[in-house]
Structure 1
Amino acid sequence: MTGIGDFDSLRRAMAENSEEPEGPARNARAEQLLAEAEKLNIPLAVIEALAHQLKVYNYSSEKAKMFVPFARLLRMWDERPEDFDEYEAHSLHWVFKWMTSGMLDQPHIPLASIEKWLGEMEHRYRLAGYSERAVRSAEFSVAAHLGDVERAERAYSGWLAADRDSMADCHACELHRQGWWQSERGRYAEALQLWRPVLEGEFTCAHEPHSVLASSLVPLLRLGRADDARAHHLRGFRLVRAMESMRGAYADHVEFCALTGNEARALELLAERPAYFTDDGNPRSRLDFMAVVALLMDRLCALGLAGQQVPGPAGRAWTAGELAGHAREVALKLAARFDERNGNAYVSERARARMDQAALAERLPLGVRSVRTPARLPDRQPAAHVPDDTSVAPGLPALLAEARRLSETLRPKAMEAWAAVARAAEADEARGALLTAYDRAEIADHEAMARGPEGAELFERAAGLYAEAGDAGEALAARARGAYVRALAGDVDGALEAVAGLYDRILALYADEGTGVRQTASVLMSRARILMRRVHEAEGEVAAADAGAAEAAAREVLALVDGRAGEDVRLAARRAESLAMLAELAARGGDVRAGAELFASAADGFAGAGLPWFAVEYEARLAQLAHHLGDLAGAERALRAALEHGGEHLEPVGRAQLHLQLGEVVGHLGRDEEAAGHALEAAHWADEAGEGPALGAWARHQLGGFLVRQGRWAEAAEVLESALPEVTAETHGDGAVVQTLWWLGDCLSELGEHREAADRRLRAAEIARHWPEQQDHATLAHLAAESLGQAGLPEEADRAYARAGELWSALGNPYGLVRSLRARAWLALRTDDGDGPSAARALMTSAVEACTAAREAAEDDEDRQRLTAELGHTHRQFADLLARAGAEDPDEDAVRAALTEALGQARTAVEVFASVGEPALHSRTGAQLAAGWLETDLGRPAEAAAHARAVLAAYADAETGDAEEEPVRARRAEAEQLLRVAEGGGED
């Protein structure tokens, strides 16, 4: 470590250390700085170093170390208070509050010592002239920890009644603790009302709204506000993730996940903070953490995952069952230590209650993907109503009857029912032997259907059994189904050849009344399906002959069943499917509107027949066509119908796709909040489907975008960071990757994480660099430059702005070029280089020249007016830059020359804005006020007053709407202030 040579370097080192992440490294550095301070032989240096050490200990896992430096500080105060400056004297009294809380956290400190300390705090605060507010707040903390509700309520009232002074905690921290107490008492709505100003950003501090967001999670769930709880988790966890001292708030987020069916997410959180299992500097927060670990592990065990590998204390591998016992044991031992100190069982009771909580939601989708998802649970969808025990022979007739009932009415569980019949027949050979040939034909037929392309031979066996049973029509239908599965396997020509003979035979049989319409329709439908396969497999344009053959086949089915569909659900299904085929052929042929109408008829046909689950596919196709036609309302109706008709029979992947499409549609309609809800559902069901990350990643990408559009930056950032590893060029295209990075950069920029924002924007720009169209590349380079500048990296920012400027110039975009030059000018002014002001001046001059040239070259009046306004802004910024640069010059003559030049630029800006007219009114008056203040700096009150009066006159008769009222009022107020200063009636 480099030695500290003087007090100023010590202060700089402490300031730098304060900016480091919380943790042992920062604490160790504070200890080194104290040793260096002691070498300076300056009492105040030691005092400040001790105070710094106290602060970093308090905000770390080594909170127990606070007491030694504080005792030393207090002794120094008692011995030589004159060594403390005003700030350190205030800080010393401030830290009394930390000591009270810190003592409560340490069960080895006797309760009598804490009460004595509380009295000492009250005495010293009274001597220093401070209000009782902080004392009553500390007393409340003691009483609440002990479970002494009466004393806690009394202290709470005293706390609120006492005056706020400089020793009171900040508004945000006070409101957090007040809301926490209301929540503890079960008054959740009151708690959230108290927390509202913190949650909305009215009051913040270094640890708020972090703690409030965490504390609000369970109250929101108990009030049924699951959407808000989800948002608070995504927003709040982001804030506490890197803050070592916030183990208690971290535990709240783990608890939230455990109570909402997000056990996999909770395991990820545990894995991120392995030290939290064992850090013992704050036993109370360790108790909180281990209690929720026990809660989570018990939840996993209840789900049958006791053997699941889970993150745990270092040194060994843990299963959920093992960690459940360990965490409960540690939590209860810690609680017992507090109980022994406190003289009651209150802490243990609270710990047990927390560990034994019931889940508050079976599954609350969060929109982020959990990487270490536990083993999937069995499907909880209700199975077909078939007896499970198929080994009992008398059950076979009942199973057979149930299977026939389900297949006769085309119920979704029919195939499972026939599989149960097959198992029962196989389990009891004697009873199975009693099955008729027709029974065995049905069993083989349905087994073949279940096997799909692999069931061709079974269809032939079923056909033989049907023939043996005397049903020639069903035998032909079974062989036609076999032909269709050959087409599905890729042999379309062979399938067509096979079905051709069957087609002629069934028509002849039907004409001789040797079979019924059902069997005939089945063969005709198989033939139509095979012809549609040829259409599907055609590359490029579909041959007119193929399309015509398929259409004729579909119409033949339709002609056969029309008029009979109302009597028979199977015939109704054939009719609806035929309409769907005609719809697809119409759409493929370019008649999108006819296709949409036919898909609507097909869906209505299935729904009208009591088969709504079959309508889902065609309602989804209808939605696509409606969207293509610009009928977003129609697309929305179709997608909602698809979700409704699918019901419990809809597979997770289908549900995900429908929600994703519906989200995109309502997003186009401007309903971003609703769109986000559908994208969230899509992400959830995609994960439930467990069929690869592509669909879920796209849903998260969409969800992030909808959250961005609502300005929900922290939530969007969590979702987009979760999506980013799985949104790949291979599965989603470069454009999706760039858009995800772009949105994420915007989020991080809004959250003040500028280095991270720059990284995402630079990564996106690197991808866009290879695109033929360079607009996105230029924009991303410019945005990355902004982030680099805000991150305190001026050299990197200047290079990025220079690159953006080159791109803007090549694109013929003068606005981007001028703005990049202005930004580089301001960066140059911030550099320590002595040539910074001259470089800044040169860059701003280039901006003026570039904008002037573009304005003169503009052929369009509207474009010329926009460039004139841009020129006005450039002159205005030039004025501000010159004034800023001049203010830092020690030479008074140089300062006056700089102000005079700045005034010239401000006047030019006024003239340029004036030429634009009414649209530039606010910009013109802003430049006039800037000129007025420069006149006062140059000692020209009359000229300054003239500028002020000109602004007031500009707004004298202004008719402004509500949106403009505030800026107008602000302009008038500033003009009046300038006028008072110019006339000697006020000060700048």
Structure 2
Amino acid sequence: MSTEDVYALMARSQELPYGEARTVLVEDALRRAEAAGDEVLAFHVRIRLTDAYRYGGEPAKAFATFGRTLADHDRDPARFDETHNLLWQMKAAVSSLTLFPEIPLDRAFAVLDDMERRYKTGGHSLQAVYHYRNVVARHIGDGSADEWFVKWRTAERDELSDCEGCDPTGMVRHLVEAGRHKEAFQIAAPVLSAQLRCNEQPQSIRTAMLPVYLRTGRLEKAADAHRRAYRVHRARLADLGDIADHLEFCAVTGNEARGLEILQRHIGWLDRAPSTHADMNFSAAAALVLGRVEAAGHGAATVRRPAAGDRPAADVPVPELRAELAERATALAARFDARNGTSHQGDEVRATLAAEPVVDFLPLAPHHRRSVPAPARRTDPAPEPRTDAAPEPRSDAVPEPRNGSASSADVSDLASVDDLDELLERVDRCRREEDLPGMLAACRRFDAVAETTEPTPLQRARRIDGRGIEFAIDGNAQGAVECWEEAARLYAELGDETGRHRVLGRLGAMRIDLGDEGGLEQVIASAEHLAAHPGEAGDATGALLRLATAQIRFERPAEALATLDRVDLDDAPEFAGELWFQRGQVLLRTGDAEAAEEALRRSLDASRASDRPETLAAPALALAGVLARREGGPDEEAFALFDEALAVLRGPSPLRAAVYTDRGLTFLAADRPADAVADLVEAIAAWTAEGMHEQAVHIRTDLANAYLRTGRHLEAAEVAEEALPGLDGENARNCRLILAHAQKEMGEEDAAATFADLAEEAARDGRPDAAAHFLEEAAGVLSALDKDALAAARFAEAAEACEKAGDPYGLVRTRRRAAMCLLWSGDRDKAVTAMETARAALAGLPPDNEPARVWETALVSFDQARLLAQVGRLPEAAAHASAAADGFTTLDETDAAEEATRLHNDIKAAIE
């Protein structure tokens, strides 16, 4: 075994995040160092292994490695000299000892005493010692915690004090437990805006501040801290205890759905919890979340618990899992209390299980709303949002309450009406006037009178017809169908063909909504009969418009136009707006945009002139959509039309959601992403309130794009992650691409994996050019994070993809960048070889693009000069630096030429 192998393994481990993969490499390095008989090297590796165990979620294993390194140091301090690191690791050893109830508490006090002795001997401040005496005192609920806190705050900081983020984090936790939230905020405020860079920050202080923000009314800061901190914690097994804090935060802020999502993601970690204490806290907080879910009426939900050992994977009902986790947390707390001789840990668990909401609902993002969903208006899956959807003809549309209008059937007046025919007339009049309260009031009065006065067969048929309309309003489509089938049968028995065909039209339209294409025949029959034998004004027009609506839905534009041509507005001029609107829809489908625009303008004019200005929303939205898709970019008139539509849509509705959607997308097309954000947020909230979740999912991708384009990368990533589970195909790829760029901008290593996944998919689809691009993006992310060996491998893969794609420039570039990453990773020999392959690839550049050829050649020369200078081949390096300067000068790239000249001069000076 060579020591070079040990150093190589340690170098590779440094490029990995803390966790199992990194720990395995360091463990392998230790075995090799021990096998080589190099005790000093093994000592230094063991120091790093202690950190790997602690930060990788296995603190119990760190006791052995720390104890061994401390003993080696004490045996021969001059030979095993890492005094600072050992004294630093003592702090973690103290806090870790409290996390396992099987370890006697005396051992923690003994380590504290030893720590104090060593700090005094080394002339160090006792500030850190006071800190960790406070930690132990708080763990057992000892009153001395306050005394140690005062000493800790007043003692002088030195190089062994926790970092500028971790030290205030500990103080905040003490003050929170004491209920001193304002003091906690004052301590944390100065460091919250600092650039905290240690392994535990800034996520730890943000997590500690959650109760502070909540208890001091800083709710937006609380939401932001939760989102930013949990995003880091969620990838780290070692942070399971911190994740428990985020579960509790969700439970007390009305975000039980988010809490359930977090619980589902991490429930499997309980089987390999980093410590008993983390297990206990997570179990308690998870039980609290499940209790909230159950209380919200979702007790029938289940949580998927992964397999572990002999336990198979299973979907566990929420109440069952809540009881199990509450019992688990309570039992673990009892073990701690037995060890500590106090009830403090049990008290903490009981407080968590009984925690009450701090706020009713705290939105974690602008599009998160808690509201009562609007009543469903259909039972079939909702269609994609479309601005060209034709409304039902007003003659038999489901009525909506008119904004600000009084009912034409005053309830007090109805109390004296006993004539069933008069009541039915009021029902019909209110339906035509779209006066929902008046219609329902007349229906209720009819039912009351009918209990003592037997309705005639005709009255019974009309009432059943009206009951079908009531069912339709309530979203009970099947109930409406059953009523209308019965009413049609009764009208037929009475020989009332006009009444029967009116009902058939509604029945057929509802069957079509339910996915039954056979309903079209009933709509046709209704239209043909009423056009030939209208019972009253508007019958023929309403039936024909309904038929055109159905034909548009079945993508039969020619038939729809023919039907619309049969409409005689003299029969019912109030339908002019709807007639021109439907004609506009048909013309859009035939591709005649100019004629469609004219028809929609006529519809809009008719709606504006009517006594129902709110009817202009649909044509305004459709016309805005036409103008938004103008060649050269959206027409400004589109925005005015969107505004006009919103102005008349007072209450929640799918149409209002569609306006926000289309205006937001138009803002995006007009390169106004900040304006788009506000509208798309409202659109998602509106679709969600309507229960139309599929629409909300798709718009989340657009919102993520808008956030990305405005530099709000965290929001972009979170919204994209919300959307992804509901997407597939090209929609999913676009969303993952947005996510990857957001992760990249935030400096998250996950961006490399996301880009790599996109590359793998592109390669499977036979798109090597896209695969090359995504692999180069992944490599760039890793390089920016100083993961140079990993970056070099990705650049090499990108080079292979470039070669498959026939991209000679990409081939040169990725080989060159791979070589430089190999240099930075310490593998100089491979770097030299890789750079030679980049130079060889220059021969493949097209001869007809001289500037690009010169540029790429100069870049290779410059980087090859840097590389060769590093390996001591100075004359060759000087020649390449000179060639690079000449190339950049030829292209008038002054800055690059000056940098290459400086490099050349430095190399020449080193030679001389």
2:757 is equivalent to residue 760 of structure 1 = yes
1:256 is displaced (CA, Å) by: 3.9
- The residue identity in structure 1 corresponding to 2:356 is Q
Distance in 1 (CA, whole Å) between partners of 2:524 and 2:796 is 69
Retained in 2: the 8 A contact 1:339–1:345?
A: yes
1:82 aligned residue: 78
2:858 is equivalent to residue 875 of structure 1 = yes
Distance in 1 (CA, whole Å) between partners of 2:53 and 2:237 is 11
- The residue identity in structure 1 corresponding to 2:601 is E
2:885 is equivalent to residue 907 of structure 1 = yes
Summarize deviations over 1:591-640 as a string: whole Å, max 9, x none.
3543453454466578x638x5x665445424423423455655455556
1:326 aligned residue: 324
Range with bigger deviation, 792-801 or 489-498: 489-498
1:134 is displaced (CA, Å) by: 1.8
2:626 aligned residue: 625
Q: Under a length normalisation based on structure 2, what TM-score does the superposition of the two structures give?
A: 0.76
1:902 is displaced (CA, Å) by: 2.9
2:796 aligned residue: 798
Retained in 2: the 8 A contact 1:47–1:73?
A: yes
Summarize deviations over 1:42-83 as a string: whole Å, max 9, x none.
553564455345334433554345445544544444444333
Within 5 Å, give how 1:258-273 maps onto structure 2: 258-259=251-252, 261-273=254-266
1:520 aligned residue: 537
- The residue identity in structure 2 corresponding to 1:502 is L
Summarize deviations over 1:912-943 as a string: whole Å, max 9, x none.
24xx3xxx44334434433443343344xxxx
Q: Gaps spanning 5+ residues in structure 2: where?
A: 378-399, 402-414
Distance in 1 (CA, whole Å) between partners of 2:526 and 2:455 is 33
Retained in 1: the 8 A contact 2:752–2:777?
A: no
Distance in 2 (CA, whole Å) between partners of 1:819 and 1:25 is 31
Summarize deviations over 1:675-697 as a string: whole Å, max 9, x none.
4455456556666766685x454
Pick closer, same or farther for the CA change 1:796–1:289 going to 2, 3 Å: closer
Range with bigger deviation, 220-229 or 667-676: 220-229
Within 5 Å, give how 1:363-402 maps onto structure 2: 364=363
2:357 aligned residue: 358
Higher relative contact order by CA 8 Å / sep ≥ 6: 1 or 2?
Answer: 2
1:174 is displaced (CA, Å) by: 2.8
Summarize deviations over 1:95-138 as a string: whole Å, max 9, x none.
22112212333446666664564344233212112223322332
- The residue identity in structure 2 corresponding to 1:131 is S
Within 5 Å, give how 1:223-622 maps onto structure 2: 233=226, 235-259=228-252, 261-277=254-270, 282-311=275-304, 315=311, 318-339=316-337, 345-355=343-353, 356-358=355-357, 360-362=359-361, 364=363, 407=431, 409-411=433-435, 431=452, 433=454, 437-438=458-459, 440-447=461-468, 450=472, 457-458=485-486, 460=488, 499=527, 502-503=530-531, 505-506=533-534, 519-531=536-548, 533-534=550-551, 537=554, 539=556, 542=558, 547=561, 550=564, 553=567, 555-556=569-570, 559=573, 561=574, 574=575, 576-578=577-579, 580-581=581-582, 583-584=584-585, 589=592, 590-601=594-605, 604=608, 609=612, 612=614, 617-622=618-623
Retained in 2: the 8 A contact 1:455–1:485?
A: no
Q: Gaps spanning 5+ residues in structure 1: where?
A: 370-375, 386-393, 510-518, 562-573, 857-866, 890-894, 940-988
**1:933 is matched with which residue: 896, 903, 906?**
906
Retained in 1: the 8 A contact 2:753–2:778?
A: no
Pick closer, same or farther for the CA change 1:252–1:689 going to 2, 3 Å: farther
Distance in 1 (CA, whole Å) between partners of 2:132 and 2:838 is 57
Retained in 2: the 8 A contact 1:704–1:720?
A: yes
Retained in 1: the 8 A contact 2:864–2:877?
A: no
What secondary structure sits across from 1:556 in the alignment? coil
1:244 is displaced (CA, Å) by: 1.8
2:732 is equivalent to residue 704 of structure 1 = no
- The residue identity in structure 1 corresponding to 2:464 is I
Retained in 1: the 8 A contact 2:171–2:184?
A: yes
Retained in 1: the 8 A contact 2:165–2:201?
A: yes
Pick closer, same or farther for the CA change 1:50–1:649 going to 2, 3 Å: closer
What secondary structure sits across from 1:792 in the alignment? helix
Within 5 Å, give how 1:961-980 maps onto structure 2: none
Summarize deviations over 1:123-165 as a string: whole Å, max 9, x none.
321211222332233244345445678854x655654554443
Summarize deviations over 1:563-599 as a string: whole Å, max 9, x none.
xxxxxxxxxxx56534534654675653354345345
Instruction: Note the aligned Cα RMSD (angstroms).
Output: 5.2
Aligned residues: 846
Distance in 1 (CA, whole Å) between partners of 2:259 and 2:702 is 24
Within 5 Å, give how 1:105-254 maps onto structure 2: 105-107=99-101, 114-115=108-109, 117-145=111-139, 151-152=145-146, 155-156=148-149, 158-181=151-174, 202-217=195-210, 233=226, 235-254=228-247
- The residue identity in structure 2 corresponding to 1:202 is Q
Distance in 2 (CA, whole Å) between partners of 1:829 and 1:692 is 51
2:96 aligned residue: 102
Distance in 1 (CA, whole Å) between partners of 2:736 and 2:140 is 50
Retained in 1: the 8 A contact 2:303–2:317?
A: yes
Distance in 2 (CA, whole Å) between partners of 1:688 and 1:254 is 25
1:943 aligned residue: none
1:254 is displaced (CA, Å) by: 2.8
Distance in 2 (CA, whole Å) between partners of 1:673 and 1:720 is 17
What secondary structure sits across from 1:202 in the alignment? coil
Retained in 1: the 8 A contact 2:97–2:108?
A: yes
Retained in 1: the 8 A contact 2:789–2:822?
A: no
2:732 is equivalent to residue 743 of structure 1 = no
What secondary structure sits across from 1:591 in the alignment? helix
Distance in 1 (CA, whole Å) between partners of 2:865 and 2:32 is 43
Summarize deviations over 1:9-62 as a string: whole Å, max 9, x none.
556556666777766897788778777766666553564455345334433554
2:384 aligned residue: none
Retained in 2: the 8 A contact 1:643–1:658?
A: yes
Pick closer, same or farther for the CA change 1:56–1:420 going to 2, 3 Å: farther
What secondary structure sits across from 2:790 in the alignment? coil
1:704 is displaced (CA, Å) by: 3.2
- The residue identity in structure 1 corresponding to 2:462 is A
2:387 aligned residue: none
Summarize deviations over 1:724-756 as a string: whole Å, max 9, x none.
454333xxxx4x454334334434554234651
1:848 is displaced (CA, Å) by: 8.5
Distance in 2 (CA, whole Å) between partners of 1:640 and 1:453 is 37
- The residue identity in structure 1 corresponding to 2:547 is I
**1:91 is matched with which residue: 75, 80, 85?**
85
- The residue identity in structure 2 corresponding to 1:170 is C
Retained in 1: the 8 A contact 2:337–2:345?
A: yes
Summarize deviations over 1:867-919 as a string: whole Å, max 9, x none.
37x83574255133123224314xxxxx3422330342243145324xx3xxx
- The residue identity in structure 1 corresponding to 2:199 is A
- The residue identity in structure 2 corresponding to 1:358 is P
Pick closer, same or farther for the CA change 1:429–1:288 going to 2, 3 Å: same
1:447 is displaced (CA, Å) by: 1.5
Range with bigger deviation, 226-235 or 281-290: 226-235
What secondary structure sits across from 1:82 in the alignment? coil
